[in-house]
């Protein structure tokens, strides 16, 4: 488990551009080392802005996108084509600019395919286990080189919300969420143990309305109150901030 380090950028745009550069560095280094790379994406304002910045970066061709596995730490359990879905927003942000292998883009299941978020979560577990088997891993989880996360003004990460029991989940790695205080109410989410299995976890935060949540994360607030405070990557944990979110 790594310690939390913070980097502050002048604004949301420079945060997105600098983070895109960091993402490309991590994926390139992973492919140099083992020929493959993997990233766990998040939805929300900064998650989408970083993806758009990756897709338009002049350095994007340094990565062989056909050998990148793309996962999501959470998803809204709605119809597949819904603009509320993180997967749909990501595809829009990328706009076909990255030559990803569709078999390696692992969107979480939608309400078109499954009758409940729990069923979609089980399906994602099967998809994770299949990838782990292909990678020759011992357990049911593939390697994640990097996980990007947003932070809500209420301190939530992925779809793990303050005061909800799933924040304290220790065994399940992906679960269905039915009572999200932020619409839509039904979601699928990785839990903290799976988020924290990533080599690197970066929290991306912009906006003065999030300064209080950022301060709570930095102060190590109780995870039940501020889920983002429970995030720790195996090798690295970065809090990547725009100045307004840093409270400066």
Ligand X SMILES: O=C1O[C@H](COP(=O)(O)O)[C@@H](O)[C@H](O)[C@H]1O
Binding site for ligand X (CB under 6 A): 42-47, 74, 86, 149-150, 152, 158-159, 182
In the numeric block, which tokens belong to residue 239?
């809090």
When the beta carbons of 159 and 237 are compared against ligand X, the nearer one is 159
Place of tokens 């919300």: 161
Task: Give all strands (DSSP E) within the chain, no chain letters.
Answer: 4-9, 37-41, 68-72, 74-76, 146-150, 174-177, 187-190, 200-205, 236-242
Place of tokens 């619409």: 183
The minimum distance between CB 220 and ligand X, in angstroms, equals 20
The minimum distance between CB 33 and ligand X, in angstroms, equals 28
Tell me if the bond preceding 184 is cis, omega within 30° of 0.
yes
d(CA 24, CA 63): 7
Place of tokens 């209080």: 212
Residue nearest to ligand X (CB): 44
When the beta carbons of 16 and 36 are compared against ligand X, the nearer one is 16
The minimum distance between CB 151 and ligand X, in angstroms, equals 6
The minimum distance between CB 194 and ligand X, in angstroms, equals 14
The minimum distance between CB 133 and ligand X, in angstroms, equals 27
When the beta carbons of 44 and 230 are compared against ligand X, the nearer one is 44
When the beta carbons of 36 and 94 are compared against ligand X, the nearer one is 94
> 1, exposed or middle or buried, with CB in 10 Å at 0-12, 13-18, 19+?
exposed
The distance of Cα 22 from the centroid of its chain, to the nearest Å, equals 15
When the beta carbons of 24 and 177 are compared against ligand X, the nearer one is 177
């Amino acid at each position: 488990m790594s310690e939390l380090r913070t980097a502050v950028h002048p604004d949301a745009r420079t945060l997105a551009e600098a983070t895109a550069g960091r993402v490309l560095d991590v994926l390139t280094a992973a492919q140099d080392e083992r020929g493959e790379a993997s990233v766990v994406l998040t939805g929300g304002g900064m998650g989408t802005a970083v993806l758009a910045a990756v897709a338009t970066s002049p350095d994007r061709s340094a990565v062989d996108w056909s050998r990148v596995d793309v996962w999501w730490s959470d998803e809204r359990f709605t119809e597949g084509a819904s603009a509320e879905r993180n997967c749909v927003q990501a595809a829009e942000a990328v706009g076909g600019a990255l030559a990803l292998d569709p078999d390696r883009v692992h969107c979480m299941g939608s309400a078109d395919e499954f009758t409940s978020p729990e069923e979609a979560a089980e399906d994602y577990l099967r998809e994770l286990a299949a990838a782990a088997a292909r990678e020759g891993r011992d357990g049911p989880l593939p390697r994640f080189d990097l996980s990007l996360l947003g932070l809500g003004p209420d301190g939530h990460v992925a779809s793990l919300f303050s005061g909800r029991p799933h924040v304290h989940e220790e065994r399940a790695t992906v679960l269905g969420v039915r009572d999200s205080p932020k619409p839509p109410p039904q979601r699928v989410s990785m839990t903290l143990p799976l988020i924290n299995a990533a080599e690197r976890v970066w929290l991306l935060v912009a906006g003065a309305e999030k300064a209080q949540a950022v301060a709570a994360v930095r102060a190590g607030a109780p995870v039940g109150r501020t889920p983002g405070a429970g995030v720790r990557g195996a090798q690295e944990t970065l809090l990547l901030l725009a100045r307004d979110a840093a409270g400066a």
